[in-house]
Amino acid sequence: MFFLFINFRFGLEFLTEIVYNSIIYANGVYCMKRYSLKNQIAVNIIETDRFKTGMLSVNLIVPLEKQTAAANTLLLRVLKQGSANYPSLAAINTRLDDLYATGIGTRNYKRGELQILGFSADMLNNTYIPDGTDVLGGAIDMLCELLLRPCLDENGLFPAKTVEREKESQCDAIRALINSKHRYANTRCVEEMCAGERFGLPLAGTVEEVEAITPQALTERYFALLHEARIEIFFIGHTPSAELLPRLENTFGAIPSPSPQKAETEVIRHAKSVREITEIQQVEQGKMVLGFRSGYSVCDADYLDFMTFCELYGSSPTSKLFVNVREKLSLCYYCTAQMDSFKGLMFVESGIAPKNRDRAFAEIMAQLDAVRRGEFTEEELNNAIRSLQSNYRELTDSPSGVEGYYLGRLLFGVDLTIEQMQEGFGHVTAEGVIAAANRVSLDTVYFLRGPEGAPVSEEKEVEDDDE
């Protein structure tokens, strides 16, 4: 797996244009070009007039590590609170409102065992701005402010007050995981299953880790991050690259020397044994999450076989799990299979009445065995393939979807365009799907349920006329 880069001089002297070897064209609509700033920051541009909005993102990519994850997450929160020229949240937001509601979002997620941190801006194209405000220029400037011109105190540190408040917010967010039982159950299953792997680390860290971070440590983390991270910029919108690139060079070109981070993710191909974990909370509905090792990584040549298997088994409304566990046995409202392509995992999630746990488990496994034996029709296989092809075609309607796809592929060295993906599914065979079903192995069974016997719904309405 490698990239073929064709280098040639771009019109502007300091810029190198790298044409991504496979030009992306979704129905011939657009293509992505890859450039590099002088400091080697990569800029990926998709020039298109399909949308009334544009999207610009700056992504910092570092290995997911226990020592740094919590601080990286906190850093993002603190940076968002103010910059040198816009020292408060109100100042930032007022500026963004003036830029026709330009939205600035932060992102913090895992791709395999990488932590991806960054800011993104989405904005109206200048053509829809009645008064000539330079919205794109304003958005670039704001991203640059947030990332590169932090608001530091007289000692050159992040202000203690801001740091403390954001630490508290982050701890609140960590504790708030129990608010969503669905998310809680999924997270717990991953934590248990990948306890010895970096993938099992929570991005926000633990409450203890967050509480231990000082303004000094956070400031050091900031400078270290800018130095250690691989930086990838994406732009999708109207603006021609000849206009955009000099602007990016003038701003993000100032980052000293970002490092080219290589993706290292440990993929365990087979589960050793099955672990069962049951937790009790005040819930009406039981949540069962089955964690599987998929046996595949996104880098494998036959990876599409696995994706097709997963779709046929449990991802679509015509899948084995939906049709049998939900429609035939009416055991649940949802029962779906999800995959993590980069870490090689598959999860089957289901919300069920606790008394039906064993029945649902048996049926989920029975359906897997059926696929392993090749008990599916050509129609089911074709449905799965069509559904996946259609998902990838429709991805091109979403700038952030396209960005997410290519960033993930770039980091893992997978040279496959969205269009090639669609074509690839057309070559998946029943044998491939059967092989994939047989490679999947059950690792962890996580079950969250209410206490036995006790009535779960002990809610009291409190009427409180306070005035």
Partner 1 sequence: MTMNERTTYRSDLLREEYTLIHHKSGLDIYVFPKQLTTTYAVFATKYGSTDNRFRLAGDDKWVDVPDGVAHFLEHKMFANADGIDSFEKFGAIGAYANAYTSHHQTAYLFSCSEKFEEALQELLTYVTHPYFTPESVEKEQGIIAQEIRMGDDNPSSRRYYQLLRALYHGRQIYTQICGTVESIAQITPKTLYDCYRVFYTLSNMVLVICGDVDVDSVLAVADRILPEQKKAEILRDQPEEPRTVVHRKLSCKMEIAQPIFAIGIKDDPFAYAPIDRVRRSNALEILCEMLFNQSSELYNSLYREGLITGGLGFGYDDNPTYAFVGLSGESRDPDAVLKRVKETVKNAKKNGLSRTAFTRCKRVMYAELVREFDSTSDIADLILDAVLCGIKPFEFASILDSVTFEDVEKVLHEVFHPDAYALSVVYPKEEES
Subset of 320-359 contacting partner 1 (CB under 8 A): 322-323, 326-327, 330-334, 351-353
Q: Which of residues 123-142 bind partner 1 (CB under 8 A)?
A: 124, 128
Q: For residue 254, state whether it binds partner 1 (rule: CB under 8 A).
A: no
Minimal distance in Å, beta carbon 390 to partner 1? 5
Per CB under 8 A, the segment of 86-94, 143-151, 212-220, 269-277 that binds partner 1 is 86-94
Minimal distance in Å, beta carbon 89 to partner 1? 6
Q: Which of 21, 94, 155, 420 binds partner 1 (CB under 8 A)?
A: 94
Show Cβ contacts of residue 248 under 8 Å, excluding neighbours closer than 6 positions: 37, 43, 140, 233
Q: Which of 8, 132, 179, 453 binds partner 1 (CB under 8 A)?
A: 179
Q: Which of 18, 24, 26, 236 binds partner 1 (CB under 8 A)?
A: 26
Q: For residue 378, state whether it binds partner 1 (rule: CB under 8 A).
A: no
- Distance (Å, rounded) from C-alpha 70 to C-alpha 80? 16
Contact 210, 278 (CB under 8 A): no
Give 30 or 35: the residue with its C-beta nearer to partner 1. Answer: 30
* Residue in this structure with the two tokens 């491939």, named with its chain if needed: 432
Bridge partners (DSSP) listed for residue 53: 124
Secondary structure of residue 59 in the 3-state scheme? strand
Minimal distance in Å, beta carbon 178 to partner 1? 6
Q: Which of 358, 378, 452, 467 binds partner 1 (CB under 8 A)?
A: 467
Q: Which of 36, 281, 324, 438 binds partner 1 (CB under 8 A)?
A: 281
Give 145 or 249: the residue with its C-beta nearer to partner 1. Answer: 145
Q: For residue 67, state whether it binds partner 1 (rule: CB under 8 A).
A: no
Give 52 or 227: the residue with its C-beta nearer to partner 1. Answer: 52
Other CB atoms closer than 10 Å to residue 355's CB: what's the count?
10
Q: For residue 239, state whether it binds partner 1 (rule: CB under 8 A).
A: no
DSSP tag of 327:
I
Q: For residue 400, state whether it binds partner 1 (rule: CB under 8 A).
A: no
Contact 150, 84 (CB under 8 A): yes
Minimal distance in Å, beta carbon 51 to partner 1? 5
Give 62 or 421: the residue with its C-beta nearer to partner 1. Answer: 421
Q: For residue 462, state whether it binds partner 1 (rule: CB under 8 A).
A: yes
Which residue type does 282 have? Q
Q: For residue 317, state whether it binds partner 1 (rule: CB under 8 A).
A: yes
Show Cβ contacts of residue 353 under 8 Å, excluding neighbours closer than 6 positions: 285, 286, 331
- Distance (Å, rounded) from C-alpha 251 to C-alpha 141? 8
CA distances for 197 relative to 42, 65, 185, 300, angstroms: 29, 10, 19, 21
* Residue in this structure with the two tokens 């405000």, named with its chain if needed: 133
Secondary structure of residue 302 in the 3-state scheme? coil
Q: For residue 149, state whether it binds partner 1 (rule: CB under 8 A).
A: no
Per CB under 8 A, the segment of 3-11, 136-144, 225-233, 380-388 that binds partner 1 is 380-388
Write b or e for each residue in 300-333: b if 16 or more Cβ atoms lie within 10 A of its Cβ, otherwise e.
Answer: beebbbbbbbbbbbbbbeebbbbebbbeeeebbe
Instruction: Provide the sign of the torsion angle of the four alpha carbons 246, 247, 249, 254, taken in this order.
Output: positive
Q: Which of residues 101-120 bind partner 1 (CB under 8 A)?
A: 101
Element (H, E) at 17: strand 16-19
Per CB under 8 A, the segment of 66-74, 139-147, 221-229, 276-284 that binds partner 1 is 276-284
Q: Which of 89, 195, 242, 274 binds partner 1 (CB under 8 A)?
A: 89
Contact 298, 412 (CB under 8 A): yes
Q: For residue 420, state whether it binds partner 1 (rule: CB under 8 A).
A: no
Q: Which of 22, 53, 438, 441 binds partner 1 (CB under 8 A)?
A: 53
Q: For residue 377, state whether it binds partner 1 (rule: CB under 8 A).
A: no
HSE-CB for 451 with a 13 A CA cutoff = 8
Q: Which of residues 155-174 bind partner 1 (CB under 8 A)?
A: 165, 168-169, 172-173
Minimal distance in Å, beta carbon 264 to partner 1? 33
Other CB atoms closer than 10 Å to residue 133's CB: what's the count?
15
